Amino acid sequence: MPETKKRIVLVTGGAGFIGSHLAEKLLEKGEEVFVIDDLSTGSLENIKHLQDNQNFHFTKGSVLDEKLVSETISKIDEIYHLAAAVGVKTVMEKPLDSLLNNLLGAEIIFKIAVRQRTPVLLASTSEVYGKNGNIPFQEDSDRIYGSAYHARWGYGMSKGVDEFLALAYFKEKNLPVIIARLFNVVGPRQSGSYGMVVPRFIKQALNNEPVEVYGDGEQTRAFGYVGSVVNALIELVGNQEKSYGQIFNVGSDEKISIKDLAQKIIDLTKSRSKIKFIPYTQVYGENFEDMRDRQPDLSKIKKAINYQPIPLIESLQKTIEYFRSH
């Protein structure tokens, strides 16, 4: 059997929660992995266990550093562009950073990647669907956003522009691009510091503190496990021409209300915690709007790569086990 050529891969935002799992999985597959991360929301702790691997290369830097990105991409076979703002809290408190990282970062990646037609997977977000209430969301569903006075919508709109930019590069410049819309990914190493609900609930439950639910708790989400998600991203890139120029929802289609999620985590951790409801305004200030429901239609990705997300209960158990041991 002929040996498979080792791929050289760039993961932007590779010291973040999802990025670190992706880098880890790529290394397990025998790839050489370069990571660029400015550590604004990522952490060296996330990639500490990878540092001794001779195929792993980390550079602290920003995707807005065009010289750094250009020098790195010159030796790269594939790019996973994950670098972006993380969490509702970050988007609300630092809207300018969020917009610039999303818009300028993607433009720099595409502009440099097109020189050698290096394939790019753009990690997008379920936030692009905005306030559309017709769930489950399909990849061609409409986007409905709120007022520009509501900073929450800036993140989804900027990632939406990134998608238009990616498809324009595909159409006009023949750049191989794939768009993966990620839906509420959870798992080990996720931080609750930026508004991520599952790690926050788990930590509160393990400490027998009140589990704080923002709003009335009736809003619904679908939580995908990070291990399944990064495997899907790698398979989509491996699909090559079948994936190029396409958008895929990635996550889980098993939805749950946030109130029920809190109770499930309390039960799984055998916690003495009680649920405490907190108004959105108390957490994010005035002019905050939230998506009421968020659930993907996964028909397209299941057909493309035979993707099967693991059940929510298993995702939560794996994540709780991690937080117990840390």
129 included as an active-site residue = no
On the question of pLDDT at 39 being above 60, the answer is yes
Task: Say what the pLDDT of residue 90 is.
Answer: 76
Burial of 212 (0-12, 13-18, 19+ CB in 10 A): middle
pLDDT score of 54: 97
Average pLDDT value over all residues in the chain = 94
Which residues share a beta bridge with 102? Answer: none
Query: Over the stretch 131-146, which tens digit does the pLDDT of each residue have?
Result: 999 999 999 999 999 9
CATH of domain 8-184+224-253+294-309: 3.40.50.720
- Asked whether 114 and 169 are in contact (CB, 8 A), the reply is yes
What would the two tokens of residue 166 be? 């990616």
Question: Which has the higher per-residue pLDDT, 40 or 33?
Answer: 33
Mapping DSSP to helix (H, G, I), strand (E, B) and coil, where does residue 201 land? helix
Asked if 185 and 229 count as a contact pair (C-beta separation under 8 A), the reply is: yes
**Taking a C-beta distance cutoff of 8 angstroms, is the pair 10, 79 a contact?**
yes
Question: Edge-to-edge strands of the sheet including 56-60?
Answer: 56-60, 32-37, 8-12, 78-81, 120-125, 177-182, 246-250
**Is the whole model's pTM more than 0.85, yes or no?**
yes
* 3-state SS assignment for residue 36: strand
Give the pLDDT confidence of 206-251 residue by residue, as tens digits. 999 999 999 999 999 999 999 999 999 999 999 988 999 999 999 9
Single out the catalytic residue among 155, 169, 214, 284. 155
Domain boundaries, the chain: 8-184+224-253+294-309
85-111 confidence digits (pLDDT tens): 776 777 788 888 889 999 999 999 999
pLDDT at position 204 over 70: yes
* pLDDT confidence band for 186 (50 / 70 / 90): very high
pLDDT tens for 244-288 read 999 999 999 999 999 999 999 999 999 999 999 999 889 887 778
Q: What is the pLDDT of residue 2?
A: 45
Distance of alpha carbon 190 from alpha carbon 200, whole angstroms: 9
What's the CA gap between 312 and 220, in Å, rounded? 13
From first CA to last CA, the distance across the chain in angstroms is 43
For residue 6, the model assigns a pLDDT of 87
Q: Are 214 and 276 in contact (CB under 8 A)?
A: no
| Residue 148 CB burial class (10 angstroms; 0-12, 13-18, ≥19) | exposed
Is 3 a residue whose pLDDT tops 60?
A: no
